[in-house]
A = this chain, B = another copy of it.
Amino acid sequence: MNYQSTIFSKYLGDEQLLQLVSDEALISKMLQFEIALATTQASFNIIPNNAADEITRVLSQLKITPADLAEGTLQNGVPVITLLALAKDQLSEEAKIYLHYGATSQDAMDTAQVLMIRDVMEVMEEKLAALIENLFKCYNQYGETPCMAHTRGQQAIPISFGIKINAWLHPLQRQQQRLVEIKKSVLWVQLGGAAGTLAVYPDKAPQLIEALAKELNLYSSSQWHTQRDNLCMFTNWLAMLSAVLGKMGGDILVMSQSEINEVMENGAGGGKSSAMPNKSNPVLSEALVALARINATLQSQQLQAMVHINERDAAAWILEWSAIPQMIINTGAALNHAITISANMKVNTAIMKENVELFLQLNK
């Protein structure tokens, strides 16, 4: 009954994004990190070229299933130890030594997560662009239609429907711009070693990090094991994005009430009822409001994760493990619904105008 419920996977989930934050994606990205690390280390003569080649070859073809890692994750509090053990089973004695050389579990997991977030950002960028385009079309088609403004639940004065659309569109455009900035402060490689000092090769540490970042097409940064502000910038972006869509959903819920009937969420017909087959329920708009509230709550969980004690603190870190993927899925579902609504919404321009005229008559 949550986002990974198959029943609710289309209503409160997004299959593409779910894939991008799945167990399989995590495994694949951790292996990608280990390969890139070995490759880079070889180029600095920190590990032998042979070892790096073998690591690349073996890990590229390694099949590890999520179930392989469950017991080890219970034992160790992270899946990396078991992942590495399984990889080492396939490696020569020499290459074993140089797998994950000088790195720590969090390096693999954080970099993997950043790589996953990069994929997520690409998908969201497209969805956001599609939504904005749809809203521009709405604006062009209906923007001039007179309708009543409502403040504090009451009819206020006549405005145009474009004012309402702009209240959705403008913050979405700001979110587009913010994403450009956030990429620069989130898409950072993580490489710190046991306690953030890259103790195994400290003199080459900065160059190694830079080369690894280049290899993975990420930004270079000194380690940020316990500095989780960047992730909170990203999740706040997700929470704000879904909140904008929550406002859009809330507006449509109000305007589509039977007695008001200024818009229909879906001109082709909305959700059905098991008791009242003739109903047409604005079920996507309801989900938009709910998903906004859920993400607002999850941001508080994610912010708590910043109180990350010492050099690694899973009591804080674990908070991120559910907050980040859940917020991503929630935002993806919300974007999908907003795209559907903005494409299919029926605007009853005649009723809008009628309401305005009635108001003007009564308030002459």
Chain A residues near B (Cβ < 8 Å): 1-12, 21-23, 26-27, 65-67, 69-71, 73-81, 84, 100, 102-105, 108, 113, 148-157, 159-160, 163-164, 166-167, 170-171, 174-175, 181, 185, 193-197, 199, 222, 224-227, 229-230, 232-233, 236, 239-240, 243-244, 246-247, 249-251, 253-254, 256-260, 271-276, 278-287, 289-301, 303-304, 306-319, 321-322, 324-326, 355, 363
A6 touches B66 (CB 8 A): yes
Contacts of A290 in B (CB 8 A): 314-319
Distance of A13 from chain B, by nearest CB (Å): 9
Q: A170-B227, A315-B253 are in contact. Are A152 and B283 (CB under 8 A)?
A: yes
Q: Which B residue sits closest to A291, measured CB to CB?
A: B318
A309 touches B271 (CB 8 A): no
Q: How many copies does the complex hold?
A: 4
B292 touches A163 (CB 8 A): no
A324 touches B274 (CB 8 A): no
Contacts of A154 in B (CB 8 A): 256-258, 279-282
How many angstroms from the CA of A299 to the CA of B75 in the assembled complex?
29
A274 touches B316 (CB 8 A): no
A301 touches B307 (CB 8 A): no
Counting from the closest, the 7 A-B pairs by CB-CB distance are A77-B283, A149-B195, A243-B306, A296-B303, A6-B66, A290-B318, A151-B312
